[in-house]
Amino acid sequence: MPRYLANTSANRGFSQPQREHAGRSSRWNKLARVRRNEKEGAMTIHTVEVPEDSEIFGKSVSAFASFGYSAAVRSRGHLFIAGTVGRRPDSAIPDDIEEQTEIAIRKLQEILRLEGLDLSALVDVTSYHVDIHQHLSGFTKAKSRLIKPPYPSWSLIGVSALASPGLLVEIRATAAYPDGI
């Protein structure tokens, strides 16, 4: 086990075998987070899990467990949504930037729906673009079909590549819950 995991506050109070399992189990991560919160009096954190049978995400649901991250995390009235990409439910990657953008936004929409929100709850969005100048027009067309006022803040960042060859856009976002949640 790497030393940086052995002595973190999230790992204190757990046996060596439990700590060694830390990097391999999302259940462990949730347990460690709950215990850390109980000990330190920290804020409550809720992770959003996309159902295995999601028609929007399809086979890509397994990526959350495989790469060890949550689709989204709710904390202090905000929903922090991990980057979504334009991979079809069958895992195919379309060549068209408009289709990839629409799929990525539909995935954001699905995560929001799971939390009782919709796209109007978005407050901050960052999108990462391969060949941004070549694809900006198609991205903007798809975005304008789905994102309506009031608009969130939105930053566009050009990158040389994304996680899989053929991916052209990845979108991460933060949404706000209605007051009192």
Residues of the chain by 3-state class (helix, strand, coil), percent to 5? 40, 20, 40
pLDDT interval class at 179 (50, 70, 90): confident
Beta strands 122-130 and 72-75, pairing class:
unpaired
Tokens of 35: 């215990």
Model confidence, pTM: 0.75
φ, ψ (nearest 5 deg) of residue 32: -60, -40
Between the CA of residue 82 and those of 38, 68, 72, what are the distances in Å? 25, 12, 6
Q: Which of 173, 87, 181 is nearest to 126 (CA)?
A: 173
Give pLDDT, residue 64.
Answer: 87
* CA dist list (Å): 40 to 10, 27, 36, 37: 10, 20, 6, 5
Per-residue pLDDT of 106-148, as tens digits, reads 999 999 999 999 999 999 999 999 999 999 999 999 999 999 9
